[in-house]
Structure 1
């Protein structure tokens, strides 16, 4: 009943907005608008001029009504142009400005001006032509943008590889991202969640080819318009939009000793209708990972030593089809459907020595533990969006819906074998089949009161239903979570150099569920989440920013699922459906400046998190599960910089540091202050003839937890790429950790009565060759800004999704 009331209230509010906004309807006469396109060319070199400024001036009142900048091909497209007479002003540093008179009509709303030539100034003609480029990193009032498309060496990689180069972001060996020391990060794709992400972020990122990524937005201080989820912040991956007229596409393949990927995209656009499609697949060559594990329980004088290996397997494929249609200059529709299917698992064996004191007698048992694991995940995401704008620049109304259907299976088979080959105990078999359905409906409205003041508001409803079936019906899990939200954000200028953005978000969460025949739970809570950002523009292209926001981190399925994974009887794993959400308050002070093309971005922050969720090992039960372990007060800092010693040589570095100081009020235990940090360095050089090269290195120091530490890790790599076939294709090679096969990771947990010690030797060294080819028309009209669903509201597991990982919890390839 609550679910229906939530949706009815939401739809009722949307209808009121619809009536006030006068959406659609035959009573409103819609003026057909069109577009003006042109290609700006250097008259001397006949090369395109990118980043040239184009302004559209209405002749009757000499008012600027539209504008834009040219892309890498020199092309610019001005959308939503009403029938009028205009002046087109074109300018760029080092060139003489140019003015062209144009006219559009109801009968011919679209106008293609073809090539427009700019002449250089006298000083420019004597020197090298100046060409502007989109910077690698951009700093905005509420986000930092890493323009991945400017990275010429991404061919053959995936989204995890791109993430490792993004300022403030760290990526562990599995591919799980963290932001400024916090793994409570929400990852979106084009502002929207994916059902694949809800199961395993690492797996989802590996399914996205690096060449499909346009940019990555890092939002450390999200405004109230974003879901309150994600205590560490939000990472939004923006993929490239193929909006060229005609048919175009891209084919890429990467073959290596570890990862093998293939991706094919095909896009078509005719007039106002655009269709895009993409298909990709990957296969990881199985390699052995050595795992050495020790468990000690002092009161029982128990000692267990395991030394063995697991051979991981991973393969999968995905596909998507999207449609965009501009009804007219003010109304547009879009829809997209995505399908993901991947499988991962492992098989292996460990030599086990168990020592236990019983009746004053020390008993030793030797045996072999052999195991097989198989996990699979299938997910379908369907979304639809309607967008309406008006003649008032910046005014926008959107309605978005999304449905996600996920299916998971997890199976394991464990055998304990005596040295003589006979069974030590009955075979342990487990299986879990899960369904994760999610439905979202939201509406957003943006109204600019003036050029310096804008209001954003909206409402949203999310219905989630999770069902897990087990071999034992006593563990069946049925979980429902409904979220209703409303927000308002006001942006304005207090002075010429002072920008303010403040807002408030309200969220109501209703949770109910049943686990087996004994555990029934019902929980609901209402929270307010304020946010505020003040940005001051200083002299010399510098910016100072102060922000505050409150965030929440609800546990996702992998944390809640009570499925008991008995793959390793000495180290069992299980979720906890009684978890409470984390609540964080974050204050941040940031500074950024641009000095002769170099970028420096520095920030300090304070984060106070209540009810921190972490995994704990319970020695009496030989079980690892999740708990709300206490409150963590964390201070941190981040410094990012780029420098160009030469025009085609870029140096980049990032240093992140944060403290960990957790206080458990139930046991009155406090860890004390520990420092976690990470370092990233990169050098990229471009040479004549289309040659590009890159070297990079990453070091993540030990990360403290309530019970112990996760060991440090370091990896490094390099890449070479060559443009061929008149820059329509590229070929390259990449290497990773060439001087050592394995990456050694040491993890340790300990308490008053136990110690758990794990050493993992993960095969990381790899060599790969990649090839990419673009075909068809490759000039772009520029993506039209769209709104959509972004359910950034669930805490993600740091591992494989909580439905049964590999033996001993080893990383996946």
Structure 2
């Protein structure tokens, strides 16, 4: 089946290419072409994949377009004789407009080198007219230009990712790509301890105003770690490579949160510094839940449990960084950075009522309240060295990274007596934890051939992880009684987990027949694990090696159209969200515990995509097939006391086939729309034959989004965003769908040094309800989570200082640890746990 699908994709790719094959060699009788090369005005280097769009002079009518190749060269055909305006654009550069006259229906109009200016140069002097595109399509990725989206002002990284094609962010902030939450998230091409424990919490710590772009890489090459079933997300923050000094101040406040950020930078000659900090608080985040579960007990009797509670959440996030870079000489470059993060989160469940019925008769009626805390501090320390050569493109880099995350998680369950007025007993769980990681990586880039049109990349990497989870349960009588430590080893223990991953890779990129690009690669990773408990023998977890192949193909067509096909194999190692043996009993009817002996998952991904442009519209079509074996799935059983106990095992197989359509439409110079529709058919099976535990499920999942931007006179803008996702198929039931929307208006002033804006989220909806369902032979559970997300906010920012072009701009490199399944949600510990570093990559 796998070979058949792969061959089908490959032959579909060739068939489509042959239909659209065009010769790029102009002759005297060939149709007229506009030829040019996009280059960086500051460095003289080519600007690969720059977008060229041809307009009829004096109008917004788009006639034709093209995407530049790796050397910045582009060719435009399909126009008649006449006068035109050519606009060249690329992420990080000002849009360049060039007047072009086509006098003959044949031959070339050679524009030569078109010099593009870094957008930072013209911050004071130039006002760019027209609507700048939000989406850029490259051979191996889709780029969302977040800095052009003003609706996210005053928000955080979660607000930005909700607008990115192929991504879905639920109401809790959990991120998924094409229906899978097992993704790799990088920040500036590297991991971060700030995001190690939870991607969800990390995104809340990154201010939206500091995100320059989001890159969605659905088919990672061999140089990326083999982790991430669905692909890689790289969040690119705004970095400063300009001369001079600058200070940016931004703040915002709303009904449910406030934030304050300061960022400063200075550069003189070869030495540059950055210093910044951001704090965000959340309050008045109210909600609730209802839960009904019908359980068939071991004695075949039937229990019905009804639960309800009111919830309130508060949090405080902080992120602080200091960076330095130094150009030793023309060929040697050093960068270093220190990042600190803090997180304090409190969750309360009040009026937590549990009613238990046996064969329809009420047998118990309990009231409790639950208070949980999740506090942490983290640090990243990196030092990187890059060596370039006289030969263009040749490069050697040595990258190092140390990360640490200290965490304190706890919860207290207070049980009321029969009168529901006084506290009868309390149960407390403390779970301090520490995660450390040491990484070293050596990369080589070697251009081949006379013109360097082929590139060989190879390297090696080692990641050493150390994690400790020390968990203890205490019991106390009454409201003021002294806590007594539990002597049950399943409730009080310490878990040590050491993992070492050694990897090597090779990747080769070359151009065939001028318009074809092929990029094959292989990566081998060898993993060793040692795990033990304080009161038990060490867990026996064997070492394993993994060969991970990848293949990317692309074909450039006329007018900038692009078709691409890809295959890659991925591995998903379980994070401590699945491994941690800390028993979570915060909900008295639903207990959960990790499994330290889990094996990794393996996934084969196939993809076929096509991008096209016509007039003012860009369209992207993508189809994919994904097959996962050894999938980590939840295993639920009913205990003798009627409690549902959940753990995890490698028992599942997941298949998904689907596609997406994305479009960006410039209706006029002032009005633009973009949106997408995504759907896939999910097929899940746990492979078990025992009817007590066997489970399978399948069905469609559909989601869509729309974003509109309208530019008003005098530097005002108004923007509207909406997103909706239907129910998601799960192995044992469904996860409820949801919708969200927002409206923003923004005014820039003082030559765009400052801005002030107003935003409203979900302003017509008091609350959202998400309905989830679990069905097994012995369990039927229906739950409803309520979130009150209506929010109004005011944001303000102002920039002090002036920057000028730095002629010595260099590409910075850093470590990418793309690892671990299960770090994508904030519920990793559920009452105390530990999160291994790098599950955000």
TM class by smaller structure: 0.7 to 0.9
Give secondary structure in 1 for the equivalent of 2:386: strand
Q: CA 1:319 to 1:75, structure 2 compared with 1: closer, same or farther past 3 Å?
A: same
Aligned to 1:480: 498
Give secondary structure in 1 for the equivalent of 2:393: coil
The answer to whether structure 1 residue 633 and structure 2 residue 658 are counterparts is no
Give secondary structure in 2 for the equivalent of 1:520: coil
Superposed counterparts of 1:313-324, under 5 Å: 313-324=314-325
| Alignment partner of 2:275 out of 274, 277, 297 | 277
Which whole-Å CA distance do the structure 1 matches of 2:398 and 2:303 have between them? 60
Aligned to 1:803: 829
The answer to whether structure 1 residue 239 and structure 2 residue 237 are counterparts is yes
CA contact (8 A) 2:410 2:831 kept: no
Q: CA 1:692 to 1:221, structure 2 compared with 1: closer, same or farther past 3 Å?
A: same
CA contact (8 A) 1:91 1:98 kept: no
The CA deviation string for residues 156-192 of structure 1, in whole angstroms up to 9 with x for no partner, is 1111111011110111111121111111111100110
The CA deviation string for residues 569-624 of structure 1, in whole angstroms up to 9 with x for no partner, is 11223222122111000110100112234211111111000122233443324333
Which whole-Å CA distance do the structure 1 matches of 2:216 and 2:826 have between them? 23
Q: CA 1:646 to 1:567, structure 2 compared with 1: closer, same or farther past 3 Å?
A: same
Superposed counterparts of 1:382-531, under 5 Å: 382-421=381-420, 426-450=425-449, 451-471=452-472, 474-518=492-536, 520-521=538-539, 522-531=541-550
Deviation at 1:99, TM superposition (A): 10
The CA deviation string for residues 279-305 of structure 1, in whole angstroms up to 9 with x for no partner, is 000111133211111222133321111
Deviation at 1:650, TM superposition (A): 1.1
CA contact (8 A) 2:698 2:729 kept: no
Which whole-Å CA distance do the structure 1 matches of 2:430 and 2:793 have between them? 36
Aligned to 1:606: 625
The CA deviation string for residues 753-810 of structure 1, in whole angstroms up to 9 with x for no partner, is 111221111011000000011111144549631221110111134532522359xxxx
Aligned to 1:330: 331
Please provide the CA RMSD for this pair: 3.0
The answer to whether structure 1 residue 348 and structure 2 residue 346 are counterparts is no
Deviation at 1:92, TM superposition (A): 3.2
The answer to whether structure 1 residue 144 and structure 2 residue 145 are counterparts is no
Superposed counterparts of 1:577-588, under 5 Å: 577-588=596-607
Deviation at 1:418, TM superposition (A): 2.7
Aligned to 2:53: none
The CA deviation string for residues 677-727 of structure 1, in whole angstroms up to 9 with x for no partner, is 211111111122111111111101111111111101011111100001221
The answer to whether structure 1 residue 565 and structure 2 residue 584 are counterparts is yes
CA contact (8 A) 2:695 2:776 kept: no
Superposed counterparts of 1:749-768, under 5 Å: 749-768=774-793
CA contact (8 A) 1:269 1:275 kept: yes
Give secondary structure in 2 for the equivalent of 1:161: helix
CA contact (8 A) 2:131 2:672 kept: no
Deviation at 1:249, TM superposition (A): 2.1
Q: CA 1:295 to 1:552, structure 2 compared with 1: closer, same or farther past 3 Å?
A: same
CA contact (8 A) 1:219 1:235 kept: yes
**Structure showing greater relative contact order (alpha-carbon pairs closer than 8 Å, 6 or more residues apart):** 2
| Alignment partner of 2:699 out of 665, 674, 685 | 674
CA contact (8 A) 1:310 1:347 kept: yes
Deviation at 1:70, TM superposition (A): 9.2
CA contact (8 A) 1:718 1:735 kept: yes
The CA deviation string for residues 335-375 of structure 1, in whole angstroms up to 9 with x for no partner, is 00100101112122235343343xx8944222211111111
Give secondary structure in 2 for the equivalent of 1:692: strand
Deviation at 1:134, TM superposition (A): 6.3
Give secondary structure in 2 for the equivalent of 1:202: helix
The CA deviation string for residues 316-344 of structure 1, in whole angstroms up to 9 with x for no partner, is 21100000111122110000010010111
Which whole-Å CA distance do the structure 2 matches of 1:172 and 1:132 have between them? 33
Which whole-Å CA distance do the structure 1 matches of 2:250 and 2:305 have between them? 48
CA contact (8 A) 2:189 2:816 kept: yes
Aligned to 2:181: 183
Deviation at 1:424, TM superposition (A): 7.8
Which whole-Å CA distance do the structure 2 matches of 1:805 and 1:771 have between them? 37
Aligned to 1:13: none
CA contact (8 A) 1:184 1:796 kept: yes
Structure 1 range deviating more: 542-551 or 563-572: 563-572
CA contact (8 A) 2:42 2:805 kept: no
The answer to whether structure 1 residue 741 and structure 2 residue 766 are counterparts is yes
Which whole-Å CA distance do the structure 2 matches of 1:91 and 1:260 have between them? 40
CA contact (8 A) 2:308 2:354 kept: no
Deviation at 1:36, TM superposition (A): 6.3
Q: CA 1:98 to 1:138, structure 2 compared with 1: closer, same or farther past 3 Å?
A: closer
Superposed counterparts of 1:61-140, under 5 Å: 92-93=98-99, 135-140=133-138
Aligned to 1:712: 737
Which whole-Å CA distance do the structure 1 matches of 2:805 and 2:364 have between them? 68
The answer to whether structure 1 residue 595 and structure 2 residue 614 are counterparts is yes
Aligned to 2:678: 656
| Alignment partner of 1:576 out of 574, 589, 595 | 595
Structure 1 range deviating more: 252-261 or 510-519: 510-519
Which whole-Å CA distance do the structure 2 matches of 1:585 and 1:201 have between them? 24
Deviation at 1:662, TM superposition (A): 1.2
CA contact (8 A) 2:661 2:676 kept: yes
- TM-score (norm. length: structure 2): 0.80
Which whole-Å CA distance do the structure 2 matches of 1:624 and 1:411 have between them? 20
Aligned to 1:224: 222
The CA deviation string for residues 427-479 of structure 1, in whole angstroms up to 9 with x for no partner, is 11111000000010001010111332100111000000000112256431100
- TM-score (norm. length: structure 1): 0.83
CA contact (8 A) 1:411 1:432 kept: yes
Deviation at 1:486, TM superposition (A): 0.4
Which whole-Å CA distance do the structure 2 matches of 1:311 and 1:71 have between them? 44
Give secondary structure in 1 for the equivalent of 2:559: coil
The answer to whether structure 1 residue 550 and structure 2 residue 531 are counterparts is no
Which whole-Å CA distance do the structure 2 matches of 1:139 and 1:494 have between them? 21
Give secondary structure in 2 for the equivalent of 1:784: coil
| Alignment partner of 2:748 out of 723, 728, 752 | 723
Aligned to 2:810: 784
Deviation at 1:133, TM superposition (A): 8.2
Structure 1 range deviating more: 135-144 or 797-806: 797-806
Q: CA 1:326 to 1:361, structure 2 compared with 1: closer, same or farther past 3 Å?
A: closer
Q: CA 1:97 to 1:245, structure 2 compared with 1: closer, same or farther past 3 Å?
A: farther
Deviation at 1:246, TM superposition (A): 1.1
Structure 1 range deviating more: 330-339 or 171-180: 171-180
Which whole-Å CA distance do the structure 2 matches of 1:256 and 1:74 have between them? 33
Q: CA 1:701 to 1:73, structure 2 compared with 1: closer, same or farther past 3 Å?
A: closer
CA contact (8 A) 1:153 1:692 kept: no
Which whole-Å CA distance do the structure 2 matches of 1:236 and 1:705 have between them? 27
Deviation at 1:743, TM superposition (A): 0.9
CA contact (8 A) 1:37 1:75 kept: no
Aligned to 1:110: none
Q: CA 1:470 to 1:353, structure 2 compared with 1: closer, same or farther past 3 Å?
A: closer
CA contact (8 A) 1:244 1:777 kept: no
Aligned to 1:286: 284
Which whole-Å CA distance do the structure 1 matches of 2:765 and 2:92 have between them? 43
CA contact (8 A) 2:697 2:733 kept: no
Aligned to 2:722: 697
Which whole-Å CA distance do the structure 2 matches of 1:361 and 1:543 have between them? 63
Which whole-Å CA distance do the structure 2 matches of 1:661 and 1:796 have between them? 20
Aligned to 2:483: none
Give secondary structure in 2 for the equivalent of 1:153: helix
The CA deviation string for residues 216-258 of structure 1, in whole angstroms up to 9 with x for no partner, is 1100000011000001110000111112211102111010001
Q: CA 1:425 to 1:658, structure 2 compared with 1: closer, same or farther past 3 Å?
A: farther
Deviation at 1:520, TM superposition (A): 2.5
Which whole-Å CA distance do the structure 1 matches of 2:371 and 2:578 have between them? 23
